[in-house]
Amino acid sequence: MGPYGSDSTTVGSTACSGPEIDAILAGTGYGLRTSSPCHVANPDYTIPFNPSDVTTWVDSMLTDFNSASTANLHLQPIPATWTDQICSPLNPTDRTPSHALIAQQRKEEEDSGIRLVHLLMTCADAVQRGSTGLAAGMVDEMRVLLSRVNTLSGIGKVAGYFADALFRRLYTTETPLSVTDHEVLYHHFYEACPYLKFAHFTANQAILEAFEGYDRVHVIDFSLMQGLQWPALIQALALRPGGPPFLRITGIGPPSPDGRDALREVGFKLAELARSVQVRFAFRGVAANRLDDVKPWMLQATHGEAIAVNSVLQLHRLLTDPGTTPAPVDSVLEWIVGIRPKIVTVVEQEADHNKPTFIDRFTEALFYYSTLFDSLEGSRPHHQRQMALAEVYLQKEICNIVCCEGENRVERHEPLTQWRTRLTNAGLHPVHLGSGAFRQASMLLTLFSDEGYCVEEVDGCLTLGWHNRALISASAWRVPDADVSPDDSSVNNCINSNNVSGSDDNRMSM
Partner 1 sequence: MGAEQEQHEQEQDDDTMNRGYNLNDNVDILAEILTRLDGRSLGVAACVCRLWSTVCNRDTVWEALCDRHVVGGAGDPGTRSVVAALGGYRRLYRLCLGPALDRLTCSGDPADPDKQGWAHLSLSLSLSLFSIDCYERLEGRQRPASLLFLCSKPVNVV
Is residue 32 a contact residue for partner 1 (CB under 8 A)?
Answer: no
Q: How many residues bind partner 1 (CB under 8 A)?
A: 39
Is residue 280 a contact residue for partner 1 (CB under 8 A)?
Answer: no
Q: Judged by CB under 8 A, which stretch of 14-22, 230-238, 316-324, 408-416 contacts partner 1?
A: 230-238
The C-alpha R_g of the chain, in whole angstroms, comes to 25
* Between 140 and 374, CB nearer to partner 1: 374
Sign of the Cα pseudo-torsion (153, 154, 158, 164, in order): negative
Is residue 381 a contact residue for partner 1 (CB under 8 A)?
Answer: yes
- What string of DSSP letters covers 204-216? HHHHHHHTTT-SE
Between the alpha carbon of residue 192 and those of residues 93, 115, 117, 428, 449, the distances in Å are 29, 30, 27, 33, 12
Backbone angles phi, psi at 394, to 5 degrees: -70, -35
* Between 44 and 451, CB nearer to partner 1: 451
Nearest-10 Cα torsion for 182, 183, 188, 191: 140
Check if the beta carbon of residue 21 is closer than 8 Å to that of residue 45.
no
Is residue 419 a contact residue for partner 1 (CB under 8 A)?
Answer: no
Interface residue with partner 1 among 110, 111, 212, 272 (CB under 8 A) is 272
Is residue 437 a contact residue for partner 1 (CB under 8 A)?
Answer: no
Q: Say how far apart CA 470 and CA 466 lie, in whole Å.
A: 6
* Between 171 and 453, CB nearer to partner 1: 453
Q: Judged by CB under 8 A, which stretch of 44-52, 53-61, 253-261, 380-388 contacts partner 1?
A: 380-388
Interface residue with partner 1 among 121, 277, 410, 510 (CB under 8 A) is 277
Check if the beta carbon of residue 35 is closer than 8 Å to that of residue 18.
yes
Is the bond preceding residue 326 a cis peptide, omega within 30 degrees? yes
Q: How far is the CB of 58 from partner 1 (least distance, A)?
A: 16
Is residue 379 a contact residue for partner 1 (CB under 8 A)?
Answer: yes
Q: Say how far apart CA 61 and CA 55 lie, in whole Å.
A: 10
Interface residue with partner 1 among 87, 127, 217, 234 (CB under 8 A) is 234
Q: How far is the CB of 283 from partner 1 (least distance, A)?
A: 14
Q: How far is the CB of 84 from partner 1 (least distance, A)?
A: 34
How many helices and strands, by DSSP H and E, does the chain display? 15, 10
Is residue 447 a contact residue for partner 1 (CB under 8 A)?
Answer: yes
Q: Say how far apart CA 340 and CA 283 lie, in whole Å.
A: 20
* Between 61 and 274, CB nearer to partner 1: 274
> What part of residues 149-188 is at the interface with partner 1 (CB under 8 A)?
none
Interface residue with partner 1 among 101, 103, 114, 239 (CB under 8 A) is 239
Is residue 235 a contact residue for partner 1 (CB under 8 A)?
Answer: yes
Interface residue with partner 1 among 273, 282, 339, 482 (CB under 8 A) is 273
Count of C-beta atoms within a 10 Å radius of residue 402: 26
* Between 75 and 232, CB nearer to partner 1: 232
Count of C-beta atoms within a 10 Å radius of residue 405: 9
Q: Say how far apart CA 208 and CA 404 lie, in whole Å.
A: 39
Q: Say how far apart CA 321 and CA 317 lie, in whole Å.
A: 11
Q: How far is the CB of 403 from partner 1 (least distance, A)?
A: 31
Interface residue with partner 1 among 95, 106, 383, 429 (CB under 8 A) is 383
Is residue 231 a contact residue for partner 1 (CB under 8 A)?
Answer: yes
Is residue 128 a contact residue for partner 1 (CB under 8 A)?
Answer: no
Is residue 448 a contact residue for partner 1 (CB under 8 A)?
Answer: yes
Count of C-beta atoms within a 10 Å radius of residue 337: 19
* Between 200 and 316, CB nearer to partner 1: 200
Interface residue with partner 1 among 452, 454, 482, 504 (CB under 8 A) is 452
Three-state SS at 183: helix
* Between 136 and 247, CB nearer to partner 1: 247
- What string of DSSP letters covers 431-483? E---HHHHHHHHHHHHHH-SSSEEEEEETTEEEEEETTEEEEEEEEEE-TT--
Contact mark string toward partner 1, 88..127, x via CB under 8 A:
----------------------------------------
Residue type at 201? F
Check if the beta carbon of residue 267 is closer than 8 Å to that of residue 251.
yes
Query: Which residues are near partner 1 by CB under 8 A?
Result: 190-191, 194, 201, 204, 227-228, 231-232, 234-236, 238-239, 269-270, 272-273, 276-278, 378-383, 386, 439-440, 443-444, 446-452
